[in-house]
Amino acid sequence: MTRVDDFCILNSEFRKPQEVALRALETRPDLVTEAYQAMKGAIMAGDLAPGTYLAQEDLASRLGVSRQPVSHALMLLRHDGLVVERGRKGQMVAPIDPNDILSMYQARGALDALAARLTAERAAEHADEFAGIFEPLLAEGQAAMAKGDIDRLLAADVAFHQTIYRLSGNSRIEIMTEAAWHHVQRSMRIVLVDSERRRFAWEEHGQIVDAILSGDEERAADVAVNHAEAAGEATYRRLMAKRQETPAEISGA
């Protein structure tokens, strides 16, 4: 079992009683990349919960590799901000900081607005093509919402926004938002348990698509930035509420 330090904040909803969902890797040339992807996937899925201490021996055993690729993978995860050092206590999955998440949403809002504006501009020449792309994305979000499937909702949400980045024609937007998505996705699990927030989010996605397909650049940008800001504020409030519910000796506050 993984050891969860009493410092772990905000994250009771992430903890699971079963063992971490890491499976032994096949022998491959680049085991560092394989270990990195497996561990990052477990962190993003919440199987390695925020605040979980990471023992290299345990991780190596679960992945079926030596400690060396695990050590290098942890270094990459520290660079991503998904793993942090805690002195003598070792390394742990980074806790979720409400203020940091709010800042990420604010920055993402500006990029989302730009992406929506550019996509709406391009929609004049690609309206039918774009409509065919967005229709199944919205349908998938609605289907996931109807089932209350959080993992499926997360995947649908990321796919929706990354599609707008791609259709914008500006490849730098997707590159610039990639790192923030790692952290935002972890916090989204807390917010998406709220069925009303899920409903609002996908209503707003529909409004963004309507503005894009109509070629209304200003409205597309406005709806996109408002959507990001609303999501950021909802996430911040939820995270702060979790912090206040947690005793100081547990939250580290």
For residue 251, being part of any structural domain is answered with no
Same domain? For 225 and 117 the reply is yes
Give the pLDDT score at 6: 42
For residue 142, being part of any structural domain is answered with yes
Asked if 225 contacts 110 with a C-beta cutoff of 8 angstroms, the reply is yes
Same domain? For 214 and 111 the reply is yes
Q: What is the pLDDT of residues 32-56, one digit of tens each?
A: 999 999 999 899 888 898 899 999 9
Token pair listed for 228:
């990001």
Q: What is the mean pLDDT of the chain?
A: 86
Same domain? For 61 and 113 the reply is no
Q: What is the mean pLDDT of residues 213-223?
A: 98
Q: What is the pLDDT of residues 143-164, one digit of tens each?
A: 999 998 998 999 999 999 999 9
Mean pLDDT highest for which of 13-17, 34-38, 63-67, 136-140? 136-140
d(CA 60, CA 164): 38
Query: Is the model's pLDDT at 247 over the cut of 80?
Result: no
Q: Is 249 exposed, middle or buried (0-12, 13-18, 19+ CB in 10 A)?
A: exposed
pLDDT band at 190 (very low <50, low <70, confident <90, very high): confident
Q: What is the mean pLDDT of residues 18-37?
A: 70
Query: Is the model's pLDDT at 81 over the cut of 60?
Result: yes
d(CA 79, CA 165): 24
**Residue among 235, 226, 14 at smallest CA distance from 104:** 235
Structural domain boundaries, residue 185: 98-245
Task: Show which of 76, 93, 110 is a domain's final residue.
Answer: 93
d(CA 102, CA 120): 27
